């Protein structure tokens, strides 16, 4: 990226000298000329390609090739440009192909080896926080595979944003409020009244079963229903016993969620729906003041607009139900208002990201629009929904256990680890290798959890994805075991290659396999910035997968440990930078690596 910026300014300079009037008038018109520099579309075109000459043909009334030639002539006269690139080539109707000087690429490899950030520039310090709203399960309800996907994708995005230097608020928007608490509290008061009398933590056992029991009673018992409805009102008005019951239920759920987060090494700050209760009235007041509220059958709504400002076909956003209660959308509106508001009344964020299943897309489109029209989003503020597809079983239907039940996340992770354990023991037996139990358990845990995470991250998140242990645990293909194995392979080379610690000297490369690997390695910073912008972790996965493939091709076809100096040192340096890049990249996906497996 650093080099791309330098090239861009050289190209701009060349444009300026070749066509001073055109550049000046474009600037006056507020449409500065763009050399349209991008990565080369094919390796034989070099490293970069500038397509700007084509767009200039019309305003300059010249053939694009003539324009390209004029630019190239200017570049030839620029010694600083000559230090970066080989003489540019003009191709096709007027594309300028640029190939970086080999010594420059080799020097860049050396620079990255000495840089723990591997060339990824940090953003300026003191920037506004970025909110990542992810995981967000519901109290007392099952945390399902959709929440697992949100947890894994949200964590990876948060890691990338943090690595770039943004202050990130990792918010768990837990569903800890709403009418379901009426029946839960009523049930709790009846089955475990003693829990309400102690100040200690109480183990309520399996909350999912508890929820089912409460629901069954609610559906069959009219008196229970009435009490439950009254209970909602009591809770909302702050009745101490109801509050205590609510707190107990939340604590119990929290402990269960936390076990999963700890296991996956995921940090989240809980800020559930209840946090926004004190701000709900203000939401309604703001919307009324902005003239957006319409009464519809007793409910307070905001009708949506299409992009062109006409009335939208989408259902309105209900802000207050006819019984006076608030809902999921009201809470999300209060959350947006709070997150963008300047401290101390709010978070002062500039970018707010939501990671949920694609089924909630219209909910978010609606509340985002209302927030914008209410004027809560500051200049430059970004609201983004990061949707993902459903997790399906191998039969293409909703993921279920063989017995037809919903899959428990704990059991899903256990199974991944157990399968890795069995695979590893089989491999050790075949290779007649002896390993300690602690080693086996560490490898199985790391690989099993990595496989689950990577499978979630590597598919284009919008599409549904089929959950398959066999596929995610395979040693070949775009899988965590394949990537982790490459790291192990390089660690083995480093052990044999010696020269631990100090940064190896890079003198140059000769083989095409080396150059292909170098070019891939040097794209790391651009990929990270792309993920930061587009919020697609699968881009980073594909990049790392391709890196492994290029590394394996290089290592299989080019001698490293047996090469003569100086090639040996330069090749060891490539191995080392490959390992560093894989480790950092996987780390940003929330996946730790191993030295042996």
Residue 400 is classified by DSSP as B
Provide, rounded to whole angstroms, the least separation between the CB of residue 151 and ligand ARG. Answer: 11
Q: Is-contact 136 545, C-beta < 8 A?
A: no
CB count within 10 Å of CB 214 equals 25
Provide, rounded to whole angstroms, the least separation between the CB of residue 111 and ligand ARG. Answer: 41
Q: Is-contact 560 481, C-beta < 8 A?
A: no
Cα gap 140→181, rounded to integer Å:
9
C-beta closer to ligand ARG: residue 129 or 175: 175
- Name every residue whose Cβ is closer than 8 Å to that of residue 68 and which is 6 or more positions away in sequence: 53, 90, 94, 95, 96
Provide, rounded to whole angstroms, the least separation between the CB of residue 274 and ligand ARG. Answer: 12
CB count within 10 Å of CB 326 equals 24
Residue in 396, 383, 399, 395 with CA at minimum distance from that of residue 350: 383
Provide, rounded to whole angstroms, the least separation between the CB of residue 359 and ligand ARG. Answer: 8
C-beta closer to ligand ARG: residue 142 or 511: 142
Cα gap 442→594, rounded to integer Å:
9
Q: Select the residue whose beta carbon is closest to ligand ARG and give its number.
A: 136
C-beta closer to ligand ARG: residue 253 or 581: 253
Provide, rounded to whole angstroms, the least separation between the CB of residue 425 and ligand ARG. Answer: 38
Provide, rounded to whole angstroms, the least separation between the CB of residue 139 and ligand ARG. Answer: 9
C-beta closer to ligand ARG: residue 138 or 581: 138
Provide, rounded to whole angstroms, the least separation between the CB of residue 381 and ligand ARG. Answer: 16
Q: Is-contact 282 326, C-beta < 8 A?
A: no
C-beta closer to ligand ARG: residue 340 or 543: 340
C-beta closer to ligand ARG: residue 99 or 138: 138
Cα gap 372→369, rounded to integer Å:
5
How does strand 351-357 pair with strand 382-388? parallel
Provide, rounded to whole angstroms, the least separation between the CB of residue 116 and ligand ARG. Answer: 34
- Residue-by-residue DSSP string for 352-384: EEEEEEGGGHHHHHHHHHHHHHHT-SPTT-EEE
Provide, rounded to whole angstroms, the least separation between the CB of residue 283 and ligand ARG. Answer: 14
Peptide bond into 566 cis (omega under 30): yes
Cα gap 522→519, rounded to integer Å:
5
Provide, rounded to whole angstroms, the least separation between the CB of residue 133 and ligand ARG. Answer: 5
How does strand 89-91 pair with strand 95-98? antiparallel
C-beta closer to ligand ARG: residue 10 or 173: 173
C-beta closer to ligand ARG: residue 166 or 173: 173
3-state helix, strand, coil in the chain (%, to 5): 55, 10, 35
For the chain, the residue count is: 597
C-beta closer to ligand ARG: residue 183 or 335: 335
C-beta closer to ligand ARG: residue 369 or 581: 369
Helix spans in 19-136 (H): 20-28, 52-60, 64-76, 79-84, 102-113
Phi-psi region of 265 (alpha: psi -120 to 50; beta: other; left: phi over 0): left
Cα gap 124→193, rounded to integer Å:
55
Residues that bind ligand ARG (CB under 6 A): 133, 136-138, 173, 175, 332, 335, 354, 356
361's tokens: 């897309």
């Amino acid at each position: 990226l650093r080099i791309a910026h330098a090239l861009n300014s050289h190209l701009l300079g060349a444009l300026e000298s070749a066509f001073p009037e055109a550049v000046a008038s474009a600037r006056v018109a507020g449409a500065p000329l763009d050399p349209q520099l991008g990565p080369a579309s094919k390796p034989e075109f070099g490293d970069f390609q500038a397509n700007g000459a084509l767009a200039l043909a019309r305003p300059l009334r010249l053939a694009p090739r003539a324009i390209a030639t004029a630019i190239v002539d200017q570049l030839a006269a620029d010694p600083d440009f000559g230090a970066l690139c080989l003489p540019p080539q003009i191709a096709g109707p007027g594309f300028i192909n640029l190939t970086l000087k080999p010594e420059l690429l080799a020097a860049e490899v050396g620079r990255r080896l000495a840089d723990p950030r591997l060339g990824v520039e940090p953003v300026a310090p003191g920037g506004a926080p970025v909110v990542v709203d992810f995981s967000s399960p519901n109290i007392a309800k099952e945390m399902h595979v959709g929440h697992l996907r949100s947890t894994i994708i949200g964590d990876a995005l948060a890691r990338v944003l943090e690595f770039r230097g943004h202050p990130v608020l990792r918010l768990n928007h837990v569903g800890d409020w709403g009418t379901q608490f009426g029946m839960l509290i009523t049930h709790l008061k009846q089955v475990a009244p003693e829990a309400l009398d102690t100040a200690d933590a109480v183990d309520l056992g399996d909350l999912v079963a508890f929820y089912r029991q409460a629901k069954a009673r609610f559906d069959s018992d009219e008196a229970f229903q009435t009490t439950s409805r009254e209970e909602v009102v009591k809770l909302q008005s702050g009745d101490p016993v109801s509050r205590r019951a609510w707190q107990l239920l939340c604590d119990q759920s929290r402990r269960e969620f936390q076990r999963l987060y700890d296991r996956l090494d995921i940090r989240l700050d809980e800020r559930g729906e209840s946090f926004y209760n004190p701000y709900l009235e203000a939401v309604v007041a703001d919307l009324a003041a902005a003239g957006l509220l319409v009464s519809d059958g007793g409910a307070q709504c905001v009708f949506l607009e299409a992009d062109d400002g006409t009335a939208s076909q989408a259902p309105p956003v209900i802000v207050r139900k006819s019984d006076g209660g608030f809902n999921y959308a009201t809470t999300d509106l209060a959350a947006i208002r709070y997150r963008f508001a300047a401290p101390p009344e709010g978070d002062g964020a500039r970018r707010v990201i939501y990671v949920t299943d694609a089924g909630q897309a219209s909910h978010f489109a609606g509340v985002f629009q209302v927030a914008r029209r209410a004027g809560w989003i500051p200049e430059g503020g970004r609201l983004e929904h990061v949707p993902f597809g459903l997790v399906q079983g191998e039969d293409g239907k909703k993921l279920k256990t063989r017995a037809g039940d919903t899959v428990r996340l704990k059991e899903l992770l256990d199974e991944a680890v157990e399968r890795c354990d069995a695979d590893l023991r089989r491999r050790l037996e075949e290779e007649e290798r002896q390993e300690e139990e602690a080693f086996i358990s560490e490898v199985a845990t790391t690989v099993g959890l990595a496989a689950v995470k990577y499978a979630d991250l590597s598919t284009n998140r919008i599409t549904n994805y089929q959950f398959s242990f066999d596929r995610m645990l395979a040693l070949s293909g775009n899988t965590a075991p394949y990537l982790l194995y490459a790291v192990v392979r390089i660690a083995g080379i480093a052990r044999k290659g010696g020269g631990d610690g100090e940064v190896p000297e890079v003198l140059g490369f000769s083989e095409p396999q080396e150059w292909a690997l170098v070019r891939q390695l040097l794209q790391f910073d651009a990929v990270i910035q792309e993920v930061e912008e587009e919020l697609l972790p699968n881009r980073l996965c594909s990049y790392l997968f391709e890196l492994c493939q290029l590394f394996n091709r290089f290592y299989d076809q080019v001698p490293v440990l047996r090469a003569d100096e100086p090639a040996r040192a330069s090749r060891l340096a490539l191995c080392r930078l490959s390992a560093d890049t894989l480790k950092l990249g996987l780390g940003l996906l929330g996946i730790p690596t191993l030295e042996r497996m």
